[in-house]
């Protein structure tokens, strides 16, 4: 479209706005079908002619390819669904004023989910409103949307935790044990890592401990026909590694985490690991045909020897998984983090029936004393010794039949 014609067309549109009911959607095979719904508002300053107005949901996978002339971005469409909002075999004219178009795009139960993170947007979705004019370029208004699969860890409320422990000893006699309470953690949460180090020699001292979360990313796309012939390849692969969390603890300068005396050469401590809450700072763990993202918790301990110059280093690598949760903010930029220890305590089942307290209830309206005060009656149930010592106001037994007559 020539610049003058496009400028004239934009002058006909006073304003336009595309809004979504949800900017982040979770889908599952076990739940009701989901959809991307919203509204497109179009305000015309003058009468305008259109060929069609449609809404489109498109999923795109993209990777960066480093070449001689710079960085080239390769894209591949993974999902494309169109829905007409207004159309005609010939041009139709719309009067000036405000116009609103509602849309609802159904989603299949299985989709390649959104994958974004530090310095990448491997797979994204966006909603486009396309305004078509005959023999002229289209006008496109876009809005991003995130689509995730509901993890089994979200639906299994009473699932047992899956702890992971790595222990061993070095050649110079340093015993160690590193553990986490659950190898499956929700996005943006805080979870503890417990460390224990015990050198057999008093001359070996713990100097520093570094805790990192390493994210490894591998993405591949099918090569084009020309690339396959020219380079004899079937896939184009991109691989990166990012540090999404890092914390260093200094033991050489002394502190609360050092042993109380020289005879105790054992170090035991627990350190929280805070995963990033922003969706562009970390990715969820995922593995499919095109994208594989994994996470490792790396604990590195450095020891010093007073009699020798040689230092000892212990490196423990614990693989774990980060799964996405529905606790995502409305802006779709970050997630509400939660302490994993608090989450595990919330999974504690209620007490057994025999351990319930005795309930005190108000009896019928006829059981009221002369001062119109309701009297409490006790439901018979097993009680603990502490409960039995608690005085309870009970209803007196009913009179015998002979006494009543």
Q: What is the pLDDT of residues 213-227, one digit of tens each?
A: 999 999 988 888 887
* pTM listed for this prediction: 0.75
The residue among 119, 286, 294, 291 whose CA lies nearest residue 219 is: 291
Contact 296, 319 (CB under 8 A): yes
Q: Which residues contact 149 (CB under 8 A, 6 or more apart)?
A: 26, 27, 28, 110, 111, 113, 324
What is the per-residue pLDDT for 1? 46
Alpha-carbon distance 248 to 197, whole Å?
Answer: 16
pLDDT digit string (tens) for 3-48?
444 455 566 788 899 999 999 999 987 777 899 999 999 999 988 8
On the question of a common fold for 3-150 and 158-346, the answer reads yes
Tokens of 123: 């797979």
Contact 280, 333 (CB under 8 A): yes
Contact 86, 209 (CB under 8 A): no
Q: What one-character-per-residue DSSP string does 374-385 give?
A: BPPEE------H
Pairing outcome for strands 286-287 and 190-199: unpaired
DSSP, collapsed to helix, strand or coil, labels residue 111 as coil
Report in angstroms the alpha-carbon separations of 264 from 172, 200, 268, 338, 361. 18, 11, 11, 35, 58
What is the per-residue pLDDT for 231? 77
Task: Give the pLDDT means over successive 10-residue stretches in the chain (405 positions).
Answer: 50 87 89 91 90 95 74 87 90 92 94 91 96 83 94 64 90 91 92 94 89 95 83 85 95 60 74 93 93 97 74 92 80 67 53 54 48 44 45 52 51
Alpha-carbon distance 156 to 133, whole Å?
Answer: 51
What is the per-residue pLDDT for 371? 44
Provide the CATH topology of domain 3-150. Answer: Immunoglobulin-like (2.60.40)
Report in angstroms the alpha-carbon separations of 363 from 360, 378, 390. 9, 9, 20
Beta partners for residue 216, in sequence order = 241, 294
* Dihedral-angle region of residue 305 (phi above 0 means left; psi in -120 to 50 means alpha; beta otherwise): beta
Tokens of 29: 């095979």
Hey, where are the domains in the chain?
A: 3-150, 158-346, 351-405
* CB-based burial, 366-388: b 16+ in 10 Å, e otherwise: eeeeeeeeeeeeeeeeebeeeee
Contact 161, 344 (CB under 8 A): yes
What dotted CATH number matches 158-346? 2.60.40.640
């Amino acid at each position: 479209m020539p610049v003058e014609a496009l400028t004239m067309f934009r002058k006909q549109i006073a304003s336009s706005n595309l809004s979504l009911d949800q900017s982040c959607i979770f889908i599952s095979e076990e739940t009701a079908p989901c959809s991307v719904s919203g509204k497109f508002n179009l305000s015309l300053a003058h009468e305008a002619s259109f060929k069609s107005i449609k809404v489109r949901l498109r999923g795109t996978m993209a990777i960066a390819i480093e070449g001689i002339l710079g960085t080239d971005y390769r894209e591949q469409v993974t999902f494309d669904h169109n829905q007409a909002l207004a159309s005609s075999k010939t041009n139709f004219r719309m009067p000036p004023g405000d116009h609103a178009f509602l849309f609802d795009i159904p989603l299949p139960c299985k989709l390649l989910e959104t994958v974004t993170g530090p310095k990448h947007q491997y797979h994204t979705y966006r909603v486009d409103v396309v305004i078509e004019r005959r023999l002229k370029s289209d006008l496109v208004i876009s809005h991003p949307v995130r689509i995730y699969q509901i993890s089994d860890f979200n639906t299994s409320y009473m699932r047992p935790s899956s702890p992971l422990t790595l222990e061993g000893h070095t050649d110079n006699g340093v015993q160690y044990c590193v553990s986490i309470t659950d190898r499956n953690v929700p996005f943006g949460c805080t979870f503890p890592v417990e460390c224990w180090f015990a050198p057999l020699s008093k001359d070996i001292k713990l100097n520093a401990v570094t805790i990192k979360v390493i994210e490894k990313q591998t993405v591949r796309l099918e090569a084009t026909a020309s690339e396959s012939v020219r380079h004899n390849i079937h896939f184009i692969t991109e691989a990166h590694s990012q540090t999404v969390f890092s914390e260093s603890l200094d033991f050489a300068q002394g502190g609360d985490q050092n042993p109380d005396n020289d005879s105790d050469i054992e170090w035991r401590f627990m350190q929280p690991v805070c995963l990033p809450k922003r969706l562009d700072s970390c990715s969820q763990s995922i593995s499919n045909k095109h994208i594989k993202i994994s996470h490792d918790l790396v604990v590195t301990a450095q020891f010093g020897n007073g009699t020798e110059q040689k230092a000892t280093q212990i490196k423990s690598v614990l693989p774990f998984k980060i799964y996405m949760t529905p606790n995502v903010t409305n802006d779709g930029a970050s997630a509400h983090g939660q302490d994993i220890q608090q989450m595990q305590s919330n999974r504690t089942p209620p007490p057994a029936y025999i351990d319930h307290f005795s309930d005190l209830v108000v009896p019928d309206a006829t059981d009221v004393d002369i001062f119109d005060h309701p009297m409490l009656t006790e439901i018979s149930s097993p009680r603990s010794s502490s409960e039995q010592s608690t005085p309870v106001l009970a209803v007196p037994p009913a009179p015998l039949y002979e006494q009543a007559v």
